[in-house]
Every structure is written in C-alpha cells, then in structure tokens.
Amino acid sequence: MVLERFAVAGLAHYSYMVESGGSAAVFDPKRDIDTYLDYAADRNWKITHVLETHIHADYASGARALAKATGAQLWLSGHDEGEDYAYQFPHQAVHDGDRIQLDGTTIVALHTPGHTPEHLSFLLHEAGDGGRPAAMLSGDFLFVGSLGRPDLLGEGSKRRLAELLYESVHEKIRALPDATAVYPAHGAGSFCGAGMSDRPESTLGTERSSNVFFGDREREVFVRRILANVPPFPDYYRRMKRVNSEGPKLLGELPGGKAIGCEGFRERIERDEAVVIDVRSPEAFGAGHIPGSLNIGLGASLATWAAWMVPYDRPVLLVGDAEMNLEPARRALVRVGFDDLGGWLAGGVSAWTAKGWPAERVEQVTAAELDERRRRGATIIDVRSGNEWAEGHIEGARHIMGGDLPRRLEELPRDTTIHLVCASGYRSSVAASVLRRAGFARVANVADGMEGWRQRDLPVATGQ
C-alpha cells in the first residue's frame, strides 16, 4: 500500500491518495482535480474510488468532479439522512462497517460523528494485519492535538454534536490499537478545530497521551471544554456546506484564464459590478490601485481571506503586476467556490494608470509613526485573531478580527483616520481595502504591524 498526502497551504487542507496493486482511492479531494489526475497518470495508477469523510464547510469539494473525470465510484456518507445537510447528487451511500477492496488493501468505514452528524473516518487494513489497521484517515474528527469543532450547524445542534464527539472519542475508536497512524484532513491554520499541531500526522497512542480532549473522561467536562475552545466562525462556512451538499458545479477547466484589455476590464467592472481582487503586495497596492478593488495578496492566505471578504454573488476579476502568474490565484479562488472568474487585466495596474484613469492610494505608516499618532489619540483597529490580541496589543487599540470587519462597518468612525494593524501588514491591508471599498476615505495600513512594534520595544498591553 502507498499513501500520498496532498497539502493546500492557507486552507491547511490535506487530501490523500491510497494505492494498492495499481488501483487508487482519493479521499477528501480539493476542487482543482488535475493534481490527482496527473499524479495517478504519471505512475500508471487507475483511480477507482473517490471518498469523503463528511460534507465540508471550509472548501469546495472536488469529489464529484474527480469521480466523473475518472469513472471512479463515488462513496459518500449514508449517515446524512434527515440531517440539516445531506448529499443531493448520485453516489454510493457508505455506512458504518462498509468495506472497499482495493486489491491488497481493505478500506473500512467508521462512523465518527461530532464534527458533523454524517462524519466518517476510514481504516486502512493490509492483508495479513490480523485485524489491526495500519492507519486511520480521520477527516475532521481527530486532528493532531485537537478535535473537530462541533458547532457548524449552529447553537441548536452544538451540544448534541459535542456529545456525539465524546462518544466517537471514548467509544468508537476505543478498541483501535495505539500504533494506528492518524492522518487528518487539516493541520494548524484551519478554522475546523482549535489548537491543532503543525505536525501532519500522529498515532492514536500519541493522541491518547497528549491530546487534551482525550483526558476528559467525564462527558460533561468534555462537552464544556470542546464548546469553550471553538475558533471564530467564518460566515462563508454556511454557504460552503450548502454548495457541497448540492454538489459543486462541474467546471471542466480552471476558469478565469483570459487576459482582458483595459477598456473591456473597465466595462466589466461598471456593467457587471464585478469585484476586483488585487493580488499584489500591500506596499504596491497602497502606492496605487484601481478604485474599489480588494487587496488580497497572492500567497497561501488568498483563499481564506477571499472567502471571508469577497461577495459570492458578483463576478470576480483579477489584477496584478504585468508579468505576474495568476494561475495560483485562480486555483485558490476555485477551491473556495468562486466559479465566476472573468479573467485578469492585461498589463496589470500599470496599464490602467497609463490610460490616465483614476487610481486610489492607501497610506502606509510604520510602527514608529503609529506610536507618535497614538500619543495624539489616533484610532487603531487590530484585525488579528483573539489569541494574538490577548498575547499582546497596542494600548488604546480596538480589536475587530479581520473576518468580522465587513459586518461591523457601522461601528467605525468616518471622520478620522483609521489605522489598521495585524502581525506584518498583510491582513491589515486586506482590511484597509475593505474599508476603502466601503467608502472610508481616511485609512492607513501599518506596514510592519505588531512585528515592527515589538522590534522597537514599544509598549504592549496583554489580556482580553
């Protein structure tokens, strides 16, 4: 048996391909499925099965598309019947104890609800293992150092799911040996659970001895702890649950692969009310950008912040530097369900400004400059996470986590300059662009963020 992990940075997502005897099964695939097709073709493997652990909330699934492209059997949880979210497209329903034979490897489904009601884990058995599984693909049930959050279905369901999660931890997997390798669907950085390790794999023995949730033997203590440790809830999770239950659109090819001239680009902005995502650095964006565009820099975090900040009911256009490769941006956006990608601006922002068309700026200030302004009563908004804020923030700043900003705009003053700060300037530039798009005229990005603040040994307050 060969097991291969495919990682998506930013979303902190892991999918897997398991091969045995030339046949392969893919678990929890991402949306841009050419990765799996190319990997299998290069090794002369045939993808025969596509499986999912649950209906995902944080990314658009590629399971339906991969099964169609390969002719593979699509195996999805059958424990979704009567639940808030259920698969609504053709598939093979899988239940607890069901088995798939992959030449010399047997895949056994194990119902492990809690993160979601329908959640499955998959045990991998090799011939002659005496009933002891070599590995468990644990999806969003068991992470390295943590468990999946049980609050995805809202306040009315979270206690029931927390209790199911307790049973999954203390009953469903109790008989599995300590040596069983654990391969989760996420690592550190995902909002699907709190306190995940950056290690991509573990063993059940390690988790039993070091994962704090395994130590809570009493049900009520477990429930209180898991519900007290949920991360922020991204608004787009509800939409993604619906998209994945209905079945993401079959794209055929990666959208948005067309360069658009300045006139056509401007026309689409005005006619279609398209949203422009500027994927350049905060410094470049601040120096001059197309009015109304959002600055979500190209890199690992693009998918996450686009999902938080960009409306899903508008076409999306991309802009960067003249020679920038925008394929990674297109892939990132498709992974979180942005299918209406119209293309990118030929020649980049410099082509726009060469036309003499208007461009906007965002003031960039250093931590030292911010300290001077703070002494004069500057308005400072810290857009980092709650944990980052508690560990140290600027005295007098106000905390609004970046993902919450679009729905809290009415709380912000419009008659003074708003200084936005994060760790290093990336998230604060995203936030600054959101405010500029919403009509806030006086916005400044703290380019070196809290890192620059600490390097200058400027005063830091702690606690909530």
C-beta of residue 340 within 8 angstroms of C-beta of residue 334 = no
| DSSP label of 171 | I
Segment 14-30 shows an average pLDDT of 97
The predicted structure's pLDDT at residue 83: 94
Q: Is 223 left (phi over 0), alpha (psi -120 to 50) or beta?
A: alpha
The whole-angstrom separation of Cα 163 and Cα 166 is 5
418 forms beta bridges with 379, 443
Give how far Cα 433 sits from Cα of 56, 277, 289, 344, 405, Å.
29, 10, 10, 19, 11
C-beta of residue 324 within 8 angstroms of C-beta of residue 277 = no
Handedness of CA 318, 322, 326, 329 (dihedral sign): negative
**How large is the C-alpha radius of gyration of the chain?**
24
Two structure tokens written together for 291: 């009015």
pTM above the 0.85 mark?
Answer: yes
Confidence label for 216 from pLDDT (cuts 50, 70 and 90): confident
C-beta of residue 219 within 8 angstroms of C-beta of residue 39 = no
pLDDT digits (tens, 9 = 90+) for 299-309: 999 999 999 99
Closest CA to 96 of 78, 75, 71: 78
The whole-angstrom separation of Cα 197 and Cα 142 is 12
Three-state DSSP state, 248: coil
pLDDT digits (tens, 9 = 90+) for 94-113: 999 999 999 889 999 999 99
The whole-angstrom separation of Cα 217 and Cα 219 is 6
Report the run of H or E that residue 300 belongs to, with start and end: none
The predicted structure's pLDDT at residue 179: 96
DSSP letter string over 108-145?
A: EEEE--SSSTT-EEEEEEETTSTT--SEEEEETTEETT
Whether pLDDT at 130 is above 90: no
Q: Which domains occur in the chain, in start order?
A: 2-246 (3.60.15.10), 259-354 (3.40.250.10), 363-455 (3.40.250.10)
Segment 11-34 shows an average pLDDT of 96
Confidence label for 464 from pLDDT (cuts 50, 70 and 90): low
C-beta of residue 293 within 8 angstroms of C-beta of residue 278 = yes
Position with higher pLDDT, 104 vs 425: 425
The whole-angstrom separation of Cα 270 and Cα 463 is 46
The whole-angstrom separation of Cα 2 and Cα 7 is 16
pLDDT digits (tens, 9 = 90+) for 140-193: 999 999 999 999 999 899 999 999 999 999 999 999 999 999 999 999 989 898
